[in-house]
Structure 1
Amino acid sequence: MVARDDVHYFGAGPAPLPTPVLEEASKVLLNYKDKGIGICEISHRSPDANEILAQAKAALTNLLDIPDDYDILFLQGGGSGEFSAAVYNLVSIWVEKRRAKAEKELGESVSEGELKAKVLERLRKEVDEELKLDYLVTGSWSLKASQEAARLVGAQHVNVALDARKANGGKFGQIAAESEWNLTPRKQNGGPALVYFCDNETVDGVEFPAFPSSLEGDDAPPVVADMSSNFISRKVDVRKYSVIFGGAQKNIGNTGITIVILRKSLLPPQSTLASPELLRALNLPVGPIVLDWPTIAKNNSLYNTLPIFDVWVAGQVMSGLVQAYGARKIEGQEEISNDKAKMIYETLDKYPNVFRVVPDKSVRSRMNICFRVGGGDAEKEKSFLAGAEKRGLLGLKGHRSVGGIRASNCKLPRHASPHAHYALLLDKYLRTLRQR
């Protein structure tokens, strides 16, 4: 039987969770708080469930310094579910703002009986001519998000403001200068319904080095960021985003929940979604209730049955980071993530005749280190993976869509030592390979 401490997992999917969390989980699965029943058996509407939610929210708020005017939601559906939720919610808000403005302006010049028809006529014209959703496509996941938006509202409403493949021979691996992006112009009471980007592309090993300056400003449109694979790995200024989301399984917990951080100004009473009747009249989609942010927020994430065990695991991981780093908060974890990435990249760069890092150096992901062995030779990469597995280095195979090797560095260390033990081991293996 292989010992847990002898294995170092680099896969980009479900996270290798801290061993102490799993040991405690094995206990609460059988008997939670000495109640005689397991945590998976308690009611999701019980005081215990609400306490678990509150503790997870408090830990995340502490780590990221989330301001009071933001809310934290726990949902299901993964990051892919939020591809759709962002479209449903923010397009609906865009329409409602336009409806209210039209009603105010047209109400002074037409009778009450004519007003509804005039407003609908104007809205149809504005939707046809002005509704835009901006996407920065820098890898496989942002591409999928843009494709989902086009599926829901029509390709004519989706503006791919950046397609990173155009500057890189048809492949992902670079991010063009912001001056080259084709963002929808900002207008008074207008602009795009959202600007969307994936902060870290898990498949392609590309990460935004910082928040785009072109998306800042008081008149900035709602900015939506997918942080599934670099959540709680570095300090972020939450106020620059309208929405941050991510599946918990990458580096916060186990598969089953999605975390959404959003401005309360997107929720009633500060903001209102357009009615389903109006959206249908405009040939726009009406989203399912389980992806409706106001409904989830109103019900404290408990509108439908939430997997409380998954929330508990995420809360335990985040609380452990709070305890480990104290006043440094997420900066403590950021330092470890950066050190591990630096160690591996330096080794890869030292032997370019053996290893080739895929993305451009300016946008290399700290989380997902994508590289090729022997120029991408299939047999050499197969041999590399076999040798790695013998040494207890698992999950290094690249995504099926791109191949190659991928060392996912976002995973939290499972061992008692805070040092990058598995990064050291991979570094040692890379050094032996370059001699072959």
Structure 2
Amino acid sequence: MKKPVKIAIATILVISLTILAGLSEAKKPESQIPRLEALNITVYPQWLKLRQTQANMSSFSFTFESTATEPMSLQNVTVLLSSPQGIKVENISLILGINGTRLVLPAVFSERNHTIILMASGINLTVPARKQIEIKIAYIPEVDASVLTSKTANMTCTLLLDGYKLTNTINLWTNASLKTVAKGQGTQINIYTNVTLTGNNSLILRATTENPLALCITGADILVATNPASKDFSLTQDGNCLKITGAGRLPQTINVQAQLKVQKQDSPIATISMQLKVGNRTITVKQTTTEAGKILSIRKPYIIPYILTLTTPEPINGTLTLIIGETTRQTRLTMGKATLILPEAFWPILTPIPIQATEITLDGSQTTFYAVQDQPETIIPGIATLALVAIIALATGFILYRERKRNKKKNPPPITEFIEEIEIS
């Protein structure tokens, strides 16, 4: 074979392998809902023969018929199930049905080598000759909070019994909605939020500390939060988020009551946003508004710029807090008006300082609002000091001038200063 042909064949093989590797890498599970497989079911003694199998939303049913010609005693039932991540032993049960009566067997659960073993012994049930009994495996699948979405997901359950493969595909769906209401006024408010998780009632949703649901708040800081009505889920505060952990059968409504400190905003009507998240993914968002601020006007109506007139549109009686440079000052508002004299007239020298109103606390109710200035305001301190220095300098110069003039009148210069020397040649 010629060398160019060999090179071409080698190139084609390399490209083909690269494409196949890329396709293999692209194949990933579409759903994180776990897969449940029953590996085997063994019934002792062996005089029971399988007649019928059936699968529904959350169970497999097996109808056995006694092949004995006389009544027989049923003692033990053993079921082996696979143990994939997300399926919990406590969500699986054995149910025995005979003569229209259904018994939940007191089964012993254990797990070994990724296999769940369900064993019911000491049943002591007499099965008439040629009589049919039903053995049912019921389960409630459990999924991680990361699958919480409004989309539909499928869960495939496969059971292998005496060489026969029985597949049950369950159409599962989950959804989350958020409703929130803010009550009260001022920067400290109470907020009531309902996190509603809906979906198939055959599904258990588990939120772990590693992968929790999170109710995050922007526009306010969380002071305290509780969920008094929920027995399945609990809250843990993490910064400005409330982590929701626990496990419960859908549907679930998690009631959250929180006390918030509203952050200062550019409008007296504050907007608070609630986001329900799983990891970095936001599932749903809800916004609510509340009055948390008061408008304030700061004016310098006099020639001296260190006397401020402070007014609000409403006739408010309370305490106004301002930050001037690095200094915090308070003044009284009476019917929405106040006057403030600033000592910054003297020091520091010619360094612009912003005047920032922070909050207004009302008399009586002690309700605190953040202050919203209608326009920014600054002062240039030290002008009074400069003016005073200039006045002192002028006064000193004037006094020295008058003193010198007076001294000249009292002490005239000697007569020799007026005699000129005349040279006669």
Scaled by the length of structure 2, the TM-score of the pair is 0.25
Q: Which has the higher strand share?
A: 2
Q: Which has the higher helix share?
A: 1
- Which structure has the larger Rg? 2
Scaled by the length of structure 1, the TM-score of the pair is 0.24
- Larger RCO of the pair (alpha carbons < 8 Å, separation 6+): 1
